[in-house]
């Protein structure tokens, strides 16, 4: 792929958008369910703000870059008014415009938690608002996927929603854990939050795998196409990257099962926690490769 092409930048915008969605939606879930006290901490808030900025910027840039790609224009034309006018007149533009509005609404949730911190994170109203906004963002993201093409669109779109939700819960939680909890090494928080997140991550990964299998079958139609189409090859690359990430995830899970109590007894000693920090950091880094492969997948034709 030509690095100066509009397609490359469009794929990058999708990747930024996915990363932002995962950080924001997963971060909200983490604060609401696992660690409300984190809403008072600067780094945890930073994860949410970063997610919001990436998501909004990726969505807005994606609008213009998709138009630039389609019309074979330079990626620098992404803010051209004529181009944007054409994109907004298309179904893709309508969906992504709605998604940008969704990010604006997400700003209300973010502003509230930044203002009130823990008090917001424990209130039912904030949790409901955050859940609804996150669900809206997930749904609008799913509207621009391959799931609508499937022979069973309802099942595929449900699987798509579950797949996205699982990814967000896993990756957003991973970022919160790494930048929020592990950076503080507070023994009380380690003992309380890490086991909870471990269970959430396991559930999320299972959901991601099951929903992903349903999606892949619905999109490709035949397992053999995994090896014979470009879409299938990208999917294989994504699965290979995911397998490596899961190896690190397994290492993290083993550490939680065998060494967490020891690290808590040592009052969060840096040396005791370091192996866990490394495996979580490796997971979080490699996940970016998975997200980039996912961005390539949505711009590829399943070739059915």
Partner 1 sequence: MVASVGRGSRRDQVVAACLAGAVVVVVGYASGIGLKTTAASSPVAPDQPPAQAAPAPQPVLPNGELPPPGAVQPMPPMPGGGIPPVDAPPPAEPVADVPSGEIPPPTGDIPQPTGDPMPPAPPETPPQTPTGTPPPTETPTCQPSAVQPVLDTVSGLPLVGGLTTGLAVTGPDGLLATIIGSCPAAPAQPAAPPAIPSSGG
The verdict on 252 binding partner 1 (CB under 8 A) reads: no
* Three-state DSSP class for residue 83: helix
Q: Candidates 22-30, 40-48, 149-157, 271-279 — which segment interacts with partner 1 by CB under 8 A?
A: 149-157
Q: How far is CA 72 from CA 6, 63, 132, 213, 295, in A?
A: 7, 14, 37, 34, 19
Q: Which one of 15, 109, 207, 220 is in contact with partner 1 (CB under 8 A)?
A: 109
Residue 70 C-beta: closest distance to partner 1, Å = 4
CB 115 to partner 1: min, Å: 12
Query: Smaller CB distance to partner 1: residue 180 or 212?
Result: 212
- Of 139 and 253, the one with the shorter C-beta distance to partner 1 is 139
280, 287 contact by CB (below 8 A): no
Taking residue 254's Cβ as centre, other Cβ atoms within 10 Å add up to: 13
String of DSSP letters for 96-159: HHHHHHHHHHHHHHHHHHHHHTHHHHH-HHHHHHHHHHHHHHHHHHHTTSGGGGSSSHHHHHHH
Q: Binding of partner 1 at residue 97 (CB under 8 A)? A: yes
Report yes or no: 282 and 128 within 8 Å, Cβ to Cβ. Answer: no
Q: Is 33 in the site for partner 1 (CB under 8 A)?
A: no
Mapping DSSP to helix (H, G, I), strand (E, B) and coil, where does residue 93 land? helix
Q: Is residue 112 a contact point for partner 1 (CB under 8 A)? A: yes
298 lies in the binding site for partner 1 (CB under 8 A): yes
Residue-level length of the chain: 304
Task: State the Cα–Cα distance between residues 190 and 268, nearest whole angstrom.
Answer: 8
Q: How far apart are CA 192 and CA 258, in angstroms?
A: 15
Is there binding between residue 129 and partner 1 (CB under 8 A)?
A: yes
Tell me whether residue 201 or residue 234 sits nearer to partner 1 (CB atom): 234
- Count of residues that bind partner 1 according to CB under 8 A: 61
Cβ atoms 193, 183 nearer than 8 A: no
Residue 132 in contact with partner 1, rule: CB under 8 A: yes
Choice between 81 and 271, CB closer to partner 1: 81
Query: Applying CB under 8 A, does 159 fall inside the site for partner 1?
Result: no
In angstroms, give the least distance from the CB of 245 to partner 1: 24
**C-beta of 168: minimal distance to partner 1 in Å?**
16
299 binds partner 1 (CB under 8 A): yes
Sign of the Cα pseudo-torsion (184, 188, 193, 195, in order): positive
Interacting residues with partner 1 between 52 and 91 (CB under 8 A): 66-67, 69-73, 81-82, 84-91
22 with 168: CB under 8 angstroms?
yes
Least distance from C-beta 172 to partner 1, angstroms?
A: 19
In terms of C-beta density within 10 A (0-12 exposed, 13-18 middle, 19 or more buried), how is residue 32 classed? buried
Give me the phi and psi of 299, to 5 degrees please: -100, 5
CA distance 88 to 86: 5
- Asked if 300 interacts with partner 1 (CB under 8 A), we say yes
Shortest Cβ 213–partner 1 spacing (Å):
19
* Residues in touch with partner 1 (CB under 8 A): 7, 10, 66-67, 69-73, 81-82, 84-99, 101-102, 105, 108-109, 112, 123-126, 128-129, 132-133, 135-136, 139-140, 143-149, 151, 153, 229-230, 298-301, 303
């Amino acid at each position: 792929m030509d690095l100066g092409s509009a397609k490359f930048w469009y794929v990058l915008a999708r990747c930024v958008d996915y990363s932002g969605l995962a950080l924001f939606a997963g971060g909200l879930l983490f604060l609401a369910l696992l660690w409300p006290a984190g809403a008072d901490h600067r780094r945890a808030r930073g994860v949410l703000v970063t997610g919001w900025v990436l998501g909004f910027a990726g969505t807005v840039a994606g609008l213009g870059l998709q138009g630039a790609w389609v019309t074979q224009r330079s990626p620098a034309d992404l803010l051209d008014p004529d181009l944007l006018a054409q994109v907004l007149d298309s179904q893709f533009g309508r969906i992504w415009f709605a998604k940008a509005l969704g990010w604006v609404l997400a700003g209300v949730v973010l502003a509230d938690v930044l203002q009130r911190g823990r008090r917001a994170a424990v209130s039912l109203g904030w949790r409901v608002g955050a859940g609804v906004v996150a669900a809206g963002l997930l749904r609008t993201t799913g509207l621009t996927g391959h799931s609508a093409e499937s022979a069973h669109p309802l099942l595929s779109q449900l699987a798509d929603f579950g797949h996205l939700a699982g990814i967000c819960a896993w990756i957003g939680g991973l970022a919160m854990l790494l930048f929020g909890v592990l950076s503080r090494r507070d023994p009380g928080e380690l003992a309380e939050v890490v086991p909870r997140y471990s269970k959430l991550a396991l559930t999320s990964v299972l959901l991601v795998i099951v929903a992903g299998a349903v999606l892949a079958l619905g999109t490709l139609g035949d397992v053999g196409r995994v090896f014979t189409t470009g879409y299938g090859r990208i999917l294989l690359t994504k699965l290979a990257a995911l397998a490596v990430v899961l190896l690190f995830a397994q290492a993290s899970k083993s550490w939680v099962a065998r060494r967490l109590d020891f690290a808590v007894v040592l009052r969060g000693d840096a040396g005791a926690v370091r192996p866990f920090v490394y495996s979580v950091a490796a997971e979080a880094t490699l996940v970016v490769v998975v997200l980039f492969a996912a961005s390539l997948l949505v711009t590829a034709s399943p070739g059915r």
